[in-house]
Amino acid sequence: MIDNAKKNYLKLIFFNIFISLSFLIISAHVHASCSTVGKTIKTYNYNAATITQDASINYQGEIRCTPSIIFNNMCLQANFNSNTSTNRGNSFPYTVNASFSGGDSTTLNSSIWSQFSADPNSYRRNIYKYSITVTVPANSNSLIAYPIGSYIGTLTLNWYTGTSLFGFLSCSDMTPYEQGTINLTADYIVPPLCQISSTSDINFGNIFDIGTSSKNYDAQGAISTICNSGTPYTIYLGDGNSRIPNSYRQMANNGNYIPYQLYQDSNYSTVWDSLNGISNIGIGTAQTNVVYGRIPNHQKIASIPATYTDNVIVNVNY
pLDDT for the residue 15: 43
Q: Is the pTM of this model over 0.75?
A: no
Three-point CA angle 271, 275, 278, nearest 5°? 65
pLDDT for the residue 143: 58
Do the domains 194-317 and 31-190 match in fold? yes
Query: Which range scores top for mean pLDDT: 20-29, 62-71, 111-120, 280-289?
Result: 280-289
pLDDT surpasses 60 at 177? yes
Q: What is the mean pLDDT of residues 281-285?
A: 91
pLDDT for the residue 9: 44
Domain boundaries, the chain: 31-190, 194-317
Domain 194-317, what architecture? Answer: Sandwich (2.60)
45 compared with 172, residue with greater pLDDT: 45
pLDDT digits (tens, 9 = 90+) for 93-148: 999 999 887 666 789 999 998 888 766 665 556 788 899 999 999 976 655 678 89
pLDDT surpasses 60 at 193? yes
If DSSP states are collapsed to H, E and C, what string results for the chain? Answer: CHHHHHHHHHHHHHHHHHHHHHHHHHHCCCCCEEEEECCCEEEEECCCCCCCCCEEEEEEEEEEEECCCCCCEEEEEEECCCECCCECCECCECEEEEEECCCCEEECCCCCEEEEECCHHHHCCCEEEEEEEEEECCCCCCHHHCCCEEEEEEEEEEEEEECCHHHCCCCCCCCCCEEEEEEEEEEEEECCCEEEEEEECCCCCCCCCCCECCCCEEEEEEEEEEECCCCEEEEEECCCCCCCCCCCEEEEECCEEEEEEEECCCCCCCECCCCCCEEEECCCCEEEEEEEEEECCCCECCCCCCCCECCCCEEEEC
Express as a percent the part of the chain with pLDDT over 90: 62
pLDDT surpasses 70 at 178? yes
pLDDT digits (tens, 9 = 90+) for 199-212: 999 999 999 999 99
31-190 sits in which CATH class?
mainly beta
pLDDT digits (tens, 9 = 90+) for 219-233: 999 999 999 888 999
